[in-house]
Structure 1
Amino acid sequence: MKSISVDELAAQGTGAPIIDVREDEEYAEARVPGAKSVPLSRLAASMGDIPPGRPVYLMCASGGRSSRAAAHLSEHGYDAVNVMGGITEWYRNGHPVTYGTVK
């Protein structure tokens, strides 16, 4: 399974497709701007919503769930990359975070 640090992901700019696999309540509380919410509990049913043919970056709170999601997607032919440390590390390293209710 491929992995990337939060700093490496941030260096790619705002166009990198980020999938946040935390549950809806966690995503609503704080998220990476532009990240799409696809909770791990619904990942298998939502695979058609994930863009094929280019890397997709999986993020959770600290890296555990996103590593499982990346492994699952990789098994199904996606170029899935785990974001090590998740949103916790993203925030700690000073990258932007959106807070509050999703509209």
Structure 2
Amino acid sequence: MFGPQIPTVTISEITDETYLLDVREDDEWAAGHAPDAHHLPMMELPARLAEIPTDRDVAVICRSGGRSAQVVAYLLRNGWEQVHNVAGGMGDWDAAGRPVIGSDGQPGQVL
């Protein structure tokens, strides 16, 4: 869909040092997200670019990888160099047994 120009990482390649950027909508985030992720809905991205670090690896995640790939392409066009799309998104995150919490801090689910 986006071709080889979109850098991608797998769930297993994400470390504690990676800045995990979740670009899903508020209801998706509230239902379940990675505990250390940073939430920035895709549509708010242009107004909030300053919140995204440029000096470390950024992995962008959504539900399945489509929206996050669009965000990675946008960030690359705007000067980010260390940015990657998370292959399979939160669906693969959950399937890999990685933790998912709701906005209340309790176990969550991926919408």
- TM-score after normalising by structure 1: 0.90
Gaps of 5+ in 2: 1-5, 106-111
Q: Deviations over 1:18-61 (max 9, x none)?
A: 00000111101100011000000111111011111222110000
SS in 2 for 1:43: helix
Unpaired runs of at least 5, structure 1: none
> Is the contact made by 1:5 and 1:83 (CA closer than 8 Å) also made in structure 2?
yes
Matched, 1:92 2:104: no
Q: For the residues of structure 1 that align with 2:26 and 2:104, how far apart are their CA atoms?
A: 10
Pairing partner for 1:58 from 44, 57, 60: 60
Identity of counterpart residues, as a percentage? Answer: 34
Deviation above 2 Å: which 4+ runs of structure 1? 99-102
More strand by share: 1
Q: What is the Cα deviation at residue 81 of structure 1? A: 0.5
How much is the aligned-residue C-alpha RMSD, in angstroms?
1.2
Q: Which has the larger radius of gyration?
A: 2
